Structure 1
Amino acid sequence: MTGLRDCRNPRRGQNVCELTFSIITSGKSYNQAAAFTFGREDLIPNMFHTIVTDLNEKFPEQISLFKYYLDRHIEVDGDHHSDLALDMTAELCGQNSGYWKEAELCSRESLNQRIKLWDGVYREILRKDFVAVSV
């Protein structure tokens, strides 16, 4: 992962990438599926729905038609992809309780790294806003 350090990628971003690639290179498809399912497909549709709703409240006249499109896309894509991802994880873990436990730990670590990443982004935004306001 030297390339990540060379381009001055923030440490939190490096951590997410390093974890992602360690999951990929582990060759454990059930962990790959779990990290994808619970760190992305089961999570992102609700996140985008919240963002779209907030934007619509702030700019109702400007995005009302676009909101309809985004809501529909989130609904169709989110439900379909989330269901498929859950099925994929269940198929790969099967009845193996060890796979399920490992997949749970992998999912938790993936989510924890993403939380740290976005908390860092948020703090950086606040820091920049503070600097801009105080100048």
Structure 2
Amino acid sequence: MSDHKDYWTTAGDQGTIKISEDVVASIAAIAASETEGVSGLYSSFTDDIATFLGKKNLAKGVKVQLHPDDTVEIDICFLAQFGYNICSIAKKVQEAVHSSIEAMTGLNATCINIHVGGVTFALPEEQSVVPVSTPEEGE
């Protein structure tokens, strides 16, 4: 059975341009993961099963729906870092994804849904260990 993949298509003077939904998802994933306060992206249990069964998911945690009117809807699932305001992070992710999608593809992201799946805590920094000097031979 073939895997159905949507493409945004536009025709120009020199030919046709097709952009895969995977490309849009990758752009959104990078923009979201580079936002301060985002610990990482996560996928739902059903996405993990699809990956296990062999379906590639390069932009884990991002779902894209392309529409014929040059618009796109995006769902992003991420983990927030402890100490950041979650609503503020979510708004920054929406802005970053919207501007990245528009700048790189020309598509209008009409809806960017945010799903915060948890909060991650930073591991305590390792204490620096000062090496103990040993007496050199011959002293």
Does the pair score TM above 0.5?
A: no
Tell me the TM-score normalised to structure 2 length.
Answer: 0.26
Comparing both chains, which one has the higher relative contact order based on Cα–Cα distances under 8 Å and sequence gaps of 6 or more?
1
Q: Which has the larger radius of gyration?
A: 2
Larger relative helix fraction? 1
Tell me the TM-score normalised to structure 1 length.
Answer: 0.26
Larger relative strand fraction? 2
